[in-house]
Amino acid sequence: MTGNGSGARAIRIASFGQVLFAVSMIALGIMGLIRGNFVPIWTGVPKAFPARVLLAYLCAVISLGSGVGLLWSRAAGFAARALLAYLVAWMLLFRVPLIVRSPASNGAWWVCGETAAMIAGAWVLAIRFAGDRGSQGPGFVVGAKALAIARGLYGFGLIMFGVAHFTFLERTVSMVPSWLPWHLGWAYFTGGALIAAGLATGIGVWARLAAILSAWELSLFTLLVWVPLIVVGPDADQIDEFVDSCALTAVAWLVAESYRSGPLLRPRTTPHPPS
């Protein structure tokens, strides 16, 4: 009986966001191994970078390994922390330099926002698993301040996604499903909604509601824009976009789940311990 119970815990899945995030990371890893190159989330490595091909395979292995680890409760905490560390390193080594070199580049800010959101997802999971095991851990990994930083990074990502709706307006309009009226209006509305949700999540005003609504918006975007293209037969770029969209949708639900015990229309507060 003890062995069966342990096995059940080993395959326990915590949430929808965790499953989708894990599956997305597995898909990114498999795609990287098949291509022997960087998938979009790992772009930004200079062509002259030493051992560039080796790094591409390493990215694929880490993506695949962390995704598998997140589906196994005994390894999930380690997988989340390893992925968090790797994403932070990627941000510092290959994303921030893009902003330094081209501070006016909309694309550079977008990819920084994407990596920031991915960091937020891995960080929320690391905090969750540390809490499940009753471990306080180092303050920069777990705790209320760490969770606030993770949510702030997610908010930054949402703002960058929303801004991209306007700076790449023609592409945004072209992605609105043909059966919907007022394509330009939807582009403005969804971009504005992402910016508003990012601000609310970042500063903690109606943050839980903003996180939930942004998760639904990203979910609908994935379902209405990318799923139909996948069904009819996508090209390689569309597959990349679909998997990226799934990963960001997963992050959105992970952040929304982090508010699960809080009130809907006001910031969650941490109760003070009794004196």
**Residue 200 resides in a domain:** yes
Q: Which domain holds residue 139?
A: 11-257
**What's the N-to-C CA distance of the chain in angstroms?**
43
Quote the CA–CA distance of 136 and 201 in Å, as a whole number: 24
Model pLDDT, residue 43: 84
Model pLDDT, residue 235: 87
CB 248 within 8 A of CB 25: no
Model pLDDT, residue 270: 45
- pTM, full prediction: 0.86
Model pLDDT, residue 269: 44
**Residue 267 resides in a domain:** no
**Residue 183 resides in a domain:** yes
Model pLDDT, residue 272: 44
The tally of domains found in the chain comes to 1
**Residue 56 resides in a domain:** yes
Which residues in the chain land under pLDDT 70?
1-14, 131-142, 261-275
Model pLDDT, residue 253: 96
**Residue 272 resides in a domain:** no
Quote the CA–CA distance of 120 and 117 in Å, as a whole number: 5
Model pLDDT, residue 10: 39
Cα 275 from chain centroid (whole Å):
38
**Residue 222 resides in a domain:** yes
CB 117 within 8 A of CB 157: yes
Cα 143 from chain centroid (whole Å):
20
At 213, the amino acid letter reads L
Nearest to 94 by CA among 132, 49, 148, 63: 49
Model pLDDT, residue 144: 82
**Residue 130 resides in a domain:** yes
CB 29 within 8 A of CB 61: yes
Q: Residue 191 has which token pair?
A: 């971009």
**Residue 270 resides in a domain:** no
Model pLDDT, residue 5: 44
